[in-house]
């Protein structure tokens, strides 16, 4: 239930704060005073698309904030299960800020995406506008209304209906998957001419005898061996230079050794030692390098193998896994193509089996829908009578159709506007006044099953007479006992039956226009109803008429 609404800098509204009460709240005022702007602001709290042109001229941002009490525990549990937004006080503060092309949404002072705002507010407030809310007339959505009626109505045996629908949805999904497999097989059948090429590709990979992770291991080993190759190249240069130098050193050692003088004996001995140390060091290096020499053959093999694999890498994948996956897929495709006829027949049998299960489930769903249709027709027609649609008759047409996501039923809501006329879809035969009453009838029926917190009626009385207005007003009064209602009206009968009346006015000064909202006292309400009855010439007779109307309506 909406407790309070604050609107700042939105359209012609500068700053208003409105309190709403339980029951039936009436908004009165001249056309253009700002009543529909208040409804537009509430629409933003429902997650409707932002209109930044509505920011009041000269201001940088607009703010709309609503405070709601959540009395329905099911709604509270649903919201908290998904978002954990409502505390023990059952209060929900929702705000929307429009600023320079940006929109900010908050619930209980937490920033939330617009999608979350829509989801949370869907069961809390419902805006019914003469020109916007005609979903009951949309044939695409009418089957959803039948299912909702079936799920929520306690007079129907519907315990397993939701499970039936879930089972059907799962089975229908499986059926579509099987149909997709059949389409793939049929496409492959068209590729029968490619068998020889497919076999060539398979043989091309098989000839290489590719091992798991071979490409990656070759690259890793080559990286190591290529670094050793550089070492070996430098060693070869060293070896050649040392061997050249070694012969000279040997001759030098020999020449030095032929000198037999005591004063040089120590140095001659030292030179001999250094020469043999060098020889020993060279032999050690030579021994170490021999392992690198042994890897040259391996390096050459790996380079050749990499070159050999480069062709299949270009054609079938960069990695060993990609190539082998492609190879196994081609083997599977080849087997499929060779046995395509048998596979298609088997797949068609599988589809036939799954389709039979779907049809059986769809028939069970259809039986339950027929039960709901019979009861809904009676309830809607009884409500029509209470709304003075005496000659109108509501009917639900159900036809069998090919399987689809909702079963095998095509649902359409029909109306016979007058005795003797033919039944036509709702959207083709309802006048503006009839549309109002049909929508009100469906709200009366469906809201009783699944009450929303607040229902807003934006000029639902358009196009109806004062006599019919009495009936409509009384029905909305009944509705307000289940859900809080907020009604914008120009009907004195509607104003007379309200529990709480607000008057919306527009003032202009200093080149600015602003909207004001005022709660009407009993005397002010009588005066306003008198003005609605007689125009601007309010007198004692019209005032007395207003008093009598209030008494009669209540």
Q: For the chain, give the longest Cα–Cα distance.
A: 157
- Cα–Cα dist 334/25, whole Å: 74
| Domain count within the chain | 2
**Residues 90, 207 share a domain:** no
Query: What pLDDT score does 362 carry?
Result: 96
Query: What pLDDT score does 294 carry?
Result: 62
Which of 145, 160, 150 lies closest to 371, judged by CA?
150
Q: Is residue 391 part of a domain?
A: no
Find out whether 166 and 471 touch, Cβ atoms under 8 Å. no
Which of 7, 2, 3 lies closest to 504, judged by CA?
7
Query: What pLDDT score does 291 carry?
Result: 65
Q: Is residue 443 part of a domain?
A: no
Opening angle at CA 68, ends 64 and 71, nearest 5? 165
Q: Is residue 404 part of a domain?
A: no
**Residues 302, 207 share a domain:** yes
- Cα–Cα dist 380/393, whole Å: 9
Q: Of the candidates 285, 312, 338, which is a domain's last residue?
A: 338
Query: What pLDDT score does 105 carry?
Result: 93
**Residues 297, 204 share a domain:** yes
**Residues 329, 226 share a domain:** yes
Find out whether 419 and 432 touch, Cβ atoms under 8 Å. no
Range list of H helices, 122-261: 139-152, 161-189, 195-208, 214-257
Low-confidence spans in the chain with pLDDT less than 50: none
Q: Is residue 399 part of a domain?
A: no
Q: Is residue 144 part of a domain?
A: no
**Residues 333, 198 share a domain:** yes
What's 103's domain CATH number? 3.40.50.300
**Residues 304, 217 share a domain:** yes
**Residue in the block written with tokens 């020449």:** 255
Q: Is residue 257 part of a domain?
A: yes
Q: Is residue 247 part of a domain?
A: yes
**Residues 200, 322 share a domain:** yes
**Residues 322, 212 share a domain:** yes
- List, for residues 461-520, the tens digit of each pLDDT value: 777 777 888 888 999 999 999 999 999 988 899 999 999 999 999 887 767 778 899 999
- List, for residues 20-55, the tens digit of each pLDDT value: 999 999 999 888 888 889 999 999 999 988 878 889
Structure tokens at 49: 């698309």
- Helix, strand, coil shares of the chain, percent, nearest 5, are 60, 20, 20
Q: Of the candidates 338, 355, 383, which is a domain's last residue?
A: 338
Q: Of the candidates 338, 368, 400, which is a domain's last residue?
A: 338
**Residues 458, 332 share a domain:** no
Range of the domain at 250: 194-338
Q: Is residue 37 part of a domain?
A: yes
């Amino acid at each position: 239930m909406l407790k309070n609404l604050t609107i700042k800098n939105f359209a012609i509204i500068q700053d208003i704060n409105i309190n709403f009460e339980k029951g039936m709240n009436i908004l009165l005022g001249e056309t253009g005073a700002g009543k529909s702007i208040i409804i537009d602001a509430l629409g933003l709290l429902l997650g409707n698309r932002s209109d930044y042109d509505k920011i009041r001229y000269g201001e940088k941002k607009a703010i709309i904030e609503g405070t709601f009490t959540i009395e329905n525990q099911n709604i509270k549990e649903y919201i908290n299960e998904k978002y954990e937004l409502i505390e023990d006080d059952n209060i929900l503060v929702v705000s929307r800020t429009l600023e320079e092309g940006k929109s900010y949404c908050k619930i209980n002072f937490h920033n939330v995406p617009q999608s979350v705002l829509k989801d949370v507010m869907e069961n809390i407030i419902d805006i019914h506008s003469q020109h916007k809310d005609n979903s009951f007339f949309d044939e695409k959505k009418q089957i959803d209304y039948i299912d909702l009626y079936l799920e929520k109505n306690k007079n129907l045996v519907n315990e397993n209906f939701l499970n039936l629908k879930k089972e059907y949805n799962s089975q229908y999904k499986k059926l579509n998957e099987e149909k997709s497999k059949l389409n793939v097989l049929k496409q492959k059948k068209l590729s029968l001419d490619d068998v020889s090429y497919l076999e060539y590709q398979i043989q091309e990979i098989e000839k290489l005898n590719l091992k798991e992770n071979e490409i990656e291991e070759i690259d890793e080993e080559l990286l190591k061996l290529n670094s050793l190759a550089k070492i070996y190249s430098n060693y070869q240069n060293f070896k050649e230079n040392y061997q050249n130098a070694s012969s000279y050193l040997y001759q030098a050692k020999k020449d030095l050794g032929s000198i037999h003088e005591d004063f040089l004996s120590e140095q001659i001995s030292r030179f001999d030692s250094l020469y043999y140390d060098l020889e020993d060091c060279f032999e050690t290096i030579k021994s170490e390098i021999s392992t690198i020499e042994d890897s040259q053959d391996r390096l050459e093999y790996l380079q050749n193998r990499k070159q050999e694999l480069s062709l299949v890498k270009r054609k079938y994948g960069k990695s060993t896994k990609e190539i082998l996956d492609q190879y196994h897929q081609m083997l599977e495709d080849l087997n499929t193509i060779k046995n395509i006829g048998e596979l298609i027949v088997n797949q068609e049998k599988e589809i036939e089996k799954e389709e039979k299960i779907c049809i059986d489930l769809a028939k069970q769903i259809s039986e339950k829908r027929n039960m709901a249709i019979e009861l809904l027709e009676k309830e809607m027609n009884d409500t029509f009578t209470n709304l003075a649609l005496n000659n109108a008759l509501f009917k639900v047409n159900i036809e069998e159709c090919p399987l689809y996501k909702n079963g095998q039923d095509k649902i359409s809501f029909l109306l016979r506007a007058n005795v003797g006329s033919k039944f036509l879809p709702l959207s083709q035969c309802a006048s503006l006044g009839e549309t109002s009453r049909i929508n009100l009838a469906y709200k009366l029926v469906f809201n009783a099953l699944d009450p929303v917190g607040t229902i807003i009626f934006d000029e639902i009385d358009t196009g109806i007479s004062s006599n019919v207005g009495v009936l409509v007003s009384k029905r909305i009064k009944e509705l307000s006992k289940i859900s809080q209602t907020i009604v914008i009206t120009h009907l004195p009968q509607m104003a007379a039956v309200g529990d709480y009346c607000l008057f919306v006015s527009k003032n202009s000064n200093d080149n600015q226009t602003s909207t004001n909202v005022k709660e009407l006292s009993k005397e002010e309400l009588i005066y306003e109803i008198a003005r609605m009855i007689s125009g601007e010439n309010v007198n004692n007779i019209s005032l007395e008429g207003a008093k009598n109307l209030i008494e009669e309506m209540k």
